[in-house]
Amino acid sequence: MDFRMGEKSDEFAKEVADFLDEHLTEEVVMEAHETGTVHNWGFYKAMADAGYTRAAWPKEFGGQERDPFEMAALSDQLNLRHAPTDGSSVTLMICSTLRHVGTPEQQADIIPRGLNGEILICLGYSEPDSGSDAAAAATRADRDGDEWVINGQKMFTTLAHEADYVFMLTRTNHDVPKHKGLTMFLVPMDAEGIEIQPVHTMGGERTNITFYNDVKVPDALRVGDVDAGWGVMRVALTFERGGSMMGQSVRLVRLVEEWAKENLAPNGRPWIEDPLVRERLARANMLNNAGALLGLRSADLFNRGELPGVEGSMSKLFSSEKFLAICEDLVDMLGPEGVLQHGEDDAPSAGWVEHAMRHAVVTTIYGGTSEIQRGIIAEHGLGLPRTRKSDRARNS
């Protein structure tokens, strides 16, 4: 066993840190914070020009063929600096999905533009009546010659207002069990009949509800076979799962450690000498270390050519739940000043703890809720029986 990240990874981390010094300006960070649109075209382009959008991709795509530990270093650096990568990470996830299940034309058209930081792709899975039960999607796609006509509504289409495409789950067959009647499309956001309605969230992020009224999509933008959309979703989910929030949590704890060293308690001594502050920070550090290792275990599996399944769910569950718990605990630790928001002069750690707490809530919800992850762990990791109703029972 060796727990060092390794020389390659350490060197890459330094390179990325230098890149961020230059390109991740205060303006870029603050724009995302103030608008709630956690994407910046200039920064995305700079990432692409530096090759970081294709860091893990093979040479034939102009990629850098970075290993999973170098990728972990990249994601650590982006998290530590609060880089606005919500848009690019979803786009690159869909590019990876297309590489496995897209047509040659889609691969030639979409992937290079994604890797070049030219287009943004958002996700269209959730609907008003289907969130965790994504396969219950009701948005319909009906064939009309070489085209499809889409009607319905999607929830939480974050970044739809900046995106070029929405990667959309639709129902194409109503007479079969729910998982077997789904088809996936890349719907161009400039198509007629799309309406975007902003939704503002407690975390400060802007998301959207999107409406689709007789939206025409060429068959060439269908991803995967007709009625085989669930399989495509599963490929996309393997690229999504295992995402760890621990990097965000590490950033937060470092900020609070700095605050505690530099600010004085009423007794005239630095806060870092206060026993309760010390205990809370020690616990947060412990949880961050434990959570980081669950994430690195997934990287270790990738590195030996295996796919993390249950391990990815454990990492997502633990890192998001502990991130939220740490945020709530640190707000408590700050006392009344814990409620002060970014921009208030007296706000400890510039109010980032208050902000992180509001944001952390959603990390236990998106990308598969904690309950969904626990279900996967129980069923696939611990061998306990399935608790949800089967498709057949539901559809018959």
> What residues are labeled active site?
240
Exactly one of 81, 297, 342, 358 binds another protein (CB under 8 A); that residue is: 297
Question: One symbol per residue from 62 to 101: x for binding another protein (CB under 8 A), - otherwise; what is it?
Answer: -------x--------------------------------
Please spell the DSSP secondary structure of 332-396, one letter per residue. HHHGGGGGPPTT-TT-GGGGHHHHHHHHHHHHTTTTS-HHHHHHHIIIIIS-PPP-SPPHHHHH-
Please, which residues have CB within 8 angstroms of residue 375's CB and are 6 or more apart in sequence? 387, 388
Per-residue contact string for residues 333-372; x = within reach of another protein by CB under 8 A? --------------------------------------x-
Tokens standing for 274?
């206060």
Three-class SS of residue 153? strand
Only one residue has tokens 């650590």, namely: 76
Is residue 245 part of the contact set for another protein (CB under 8 A)?
A: no
| CA dist 321 → 54, 358, 371 (Å) | 30, 13, 11
Among 19, 377, 391, 395, binds another protein (CB under 8 A): 377
268 binds another protein (CB under 8 A): no
Helix spans in 36-165 (H): 41-49, 68-80, 86-101, 104-115
Residues 8-27 binding another protein (CB under 8 A) are 9
Report the distance separating Cα 241 and Cα 219, nearest Å: 29
- Rule CB under 8 A: choose which of 2, 7, 22, 190 binds another protein: 2
Hey, what are 63's tokens? 């990629």
- Pick the binder of another protein from 264, 265, 290, 307 (CB under 8 A): 290
Nearer to another protein, 224 or 375 (CB): 375
* Residue 273 contacts another protein per CB under 8 A: yes
Strand pairing partners for 140?
A: 151, 171
Out of 90, 159, 299, 353, point to the residue binding another protein (CB under 8 A). Answer: 299
Closer CB to another protein, residue 69 or residue 165?
Answer: 69
Tell me if 296 contacts another protein by CB under 8 A.
yes
> Count residues contacting another protein (CB under 8 A)?
49
Q: Which residues contact 356 (CB under 8 A, 6 or more apart)?
A: 248, 252, 323, 327
Asked if 354 and 341 touch (Cβ cutoff 8 Å), the reply is yes
- Name the minimum Å distance from CB 23 to another protein: 28
- What's the CA gap between 80 and 96, in Å, rounded? 25
Is 318 a binding residue for another protein by CB under 8 A? The answer is yes
Residues that bind another protein in the complex, under the rule CB under 8 A: 1-6, 9, 69, 257, 261, 272-273, 275, 278-279, 281-283, 285-287, 289-291, 293-294, 296-297, 299-300, 303-304, 311, 314, 317-318, 371, 373-375, 377-379, 381-385, 387
